[in-house]
Each structure stands twice: as structure tokens, then as C-alpha cells.
A = this chain, B = another copy of it.
Amino acid sequence: MELIGGRWRGAIMASLCGSPKRFVELKSDLHPITSRVLTKELRYLEQNKLIIVEYGNGAKNAVCYAHSEHGKSCAPVILQLREWAVKHRKLMLETLRTEH
């Protein structure tokens, strides 16, 4: 749970399931995350080999984040988890309504 727990790590991995993303793309995807936190979490995921970082071609400020080969293997797990969470939320909202 340490790997993908916390408020952001799972969300970051989920956001990268589709395609590689730039820093700003992630930032707006995960809004309202702050730069400080996003940076930290990306470094953590990089150290743990779940993502890889490509520093831009040329001297541009173009950095790209993507699932590593190994990070891809967790995509199905993350997506299944999300599906379950959505179902769960529905159920919780229903029981809230029927309790009145």
C-alpha cells in the first residue's frame, strides 16, 4: 500500500495508464495538487521503478513521465481498483439517501 497509497500516488499511476504525460498535464489532471507534492511523488515513483522520466530533447524544459515496463503491470490492478471504488461510492450514496 505504501507504493500506491496516500492521496496521490494511485491517481498518478492511473493518470499515466493511457499515455505518457508532461508535468503540467499531470498537474492539471490531478488538480488541485501542488507542484511541491507532485514533484515529490514523481521522485518517489521513479525511485521505485514504477515510472520512467525522459528529460527533454534538446535543452528545452520538456520532461515526460511514463509507466516503466514494470509499472505497466500494475495498470490492470489500478483500473480494477478504481472500478470497485466507483461502485462503492454509488452504494454509499444510496444508503445515505435511504437513511432519510
* Chain A residues with a Cβ under 8 A of chain B: 1-7, 9-11, 48-49, 70, 73-74, 76-77, 80-81, 84-85, 87-88, 91-92, 95
Per assembly, the copies of the chain total 2
Which residue of chain B is the closest to A48 with respect to CB atoms? B92
**Given the known A-B contacts A7-B1, A95-B49, are A73 and B84 also in contact in the complex, defined by CB atoms under 8 Å?**
yes
**Chain B nearest Cβ from A86, distance in angstroms:** 12
A4 to B70, CA, bound (A): 23
A4 to B78, CA, bound (A): 13
CB atoms of B88 and A70 under 8 A apart: yes
CB atoms of A81 and B77 under 8 A apart: yes
A41 to B80, CA, bound (A): 23
